């Protein structure tokens, strides 16, 4: 029997929302320098199912100066979703460049820089 995905369009109690955010932040904090993860992969790693859009919205609301490595999250296929000329896009590209992650035509080589935590456990 297929597993049912959680419905993230339904409002949750404040405690449930905070628990989801905590799970997301914990998963994000584990992404190592020089690696990237997609919004969808991050949602799955956090145990949130198919909540890529929710992850994107939540990360867009992080406070300025956060220590979380938000810049290591990319869209599907390695696409950098923040506009290159926006302050966030400029900062993301600069932070990734410092970590050795280069982009070409607005994309990161996900095969080279994608984080696969299960492969690193062996």
Residues 103/96, Cβ–Cβ less than 8 Å:
yes
Which residues, in sequence order, are CB contacts of 47 under 8 Å at separation 6+?
Answer: 23
Q: What is the pLDDT of residue 9?
A: 47
Residues 10-66 have pLDDT tens digits of 444 556 889 999 999 999 999 999 999 999 999 999 999 999 999 999 999 999 889
Residue 61 class from Cβ within 10 Å (0-12 exposed, 13-18 middle, 19+ buried)? Answer: exposed
CB 37 within 8 Å of CB 45: yes
Give the bridge partners for 36, in sequence order: 114
Q: Which domains does the chain have, with CATH numbers?
A: 16-120 (1.10.10.10)
DSSP 104: E
**pTM of structure:** 0.84
CA distance 102 to 97: 5
- What pLDDT sits at residue 117? 84
72 DSSP assignment: G
């Amino acid at each position: 029997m297929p597993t049912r995905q959680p419905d993230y369009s339904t409002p949750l109690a404040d405690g449930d929302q905070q628990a989801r955010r905590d799970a997301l932040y914990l998963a994000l904090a584990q992404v190592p320098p020089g690696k990237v993860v997609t919004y969808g992969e991050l949602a799955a790693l956090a145990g949130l199912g198919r909540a890529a859009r929710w992850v994107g919205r939540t990360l867009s609301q992080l406070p300025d100066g956060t220590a979380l490595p938000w810049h290591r999250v990319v869209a599907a296929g390695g696409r950098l979703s923040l506009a290159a000329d926006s302050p966030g896009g400029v900062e993301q590209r600069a932070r990734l460049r410092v970590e050795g992650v280069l982009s070409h035509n607005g994309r990161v080589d996900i095969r080279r820089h994608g984080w696969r935590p299960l492969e690193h456990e062996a």
